[in-house]
């Protein structure tokens, strides 16, 4: 069953998360998921800050747009990747342990 976790209802998913996060590996992975999300959120805010700061100081140029857009895209990859990785890890746990 490749996507057992995706087919669970909301209560079953919550129970699966609780069981996984009680394990030693689950505790470590939870910290990593939180870290990836925080890095992504900080990157998004910083890219928005670069654009706003450029407008305020009237010094916005093409390089500001390029750096801000690259940072924004990388930050979104961090957030989306964290979500996908979390789903895969929980699915593997559901298939093997539940």
The confidence score (pLDDT) of residue 98 equals 76
| 54 within a domain of the structure (yes/no) | yes
For 62, the domain range is: 14-97
1, pLDDT greater than 80: no
| 8 within a domain of the structure (yes/no) | no
> 2-11, 46-55, 62-71, 85-94: which has the minimum mean pLDDT?
2-11
pLDDT average, residue stretch 55-76: 93
Task: Give which of 12, 15, 87, 74 is closest to 44, Cα–Cα.
Answer: 74
Could you tell me which residue, 83 or 2, shows the higher pLDDT?
83
2, pLDDT greater than 80: no
| 9 within a domain of the structure (yes/no) | no
| 62 within a domain of the structure (yes/no) | yes
| 34 within a domain of the structure (yes/no) | yes
| 81 within a domain of the structure (yes/no) | yes
| 2 within a domain of the structure (yes/no) | no
Number of independent structural domains in the chain: 1
Could you tell me which residue, 5 or 85, shows the higher pLDDT?
85
- What phi, psi does 69 have (nearest 5°)? -70, -40
pTM comes to 0.83
């Amino acid at each position: 069953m490749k996507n057992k976790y995706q087919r669970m209802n909301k209560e079953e998913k919550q129970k699966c998360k609780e069981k996984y996060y009680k394990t030693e590996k689950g505790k470590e992975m939870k910290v990593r998921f939180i870290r990836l999300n925080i890095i992504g959120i900080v990157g998004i805010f910083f890219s928005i800050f670069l654009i706003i700061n450029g407008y305020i100081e009237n010094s916005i140029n093409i390089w500001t747009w390029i750096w801000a857009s690259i940072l924004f895209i990388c930050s979104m990859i961090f957030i989306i990747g964290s979500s996908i990785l979390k789903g895969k890890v929980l699915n593997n746990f559901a298939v093997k342990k539940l």
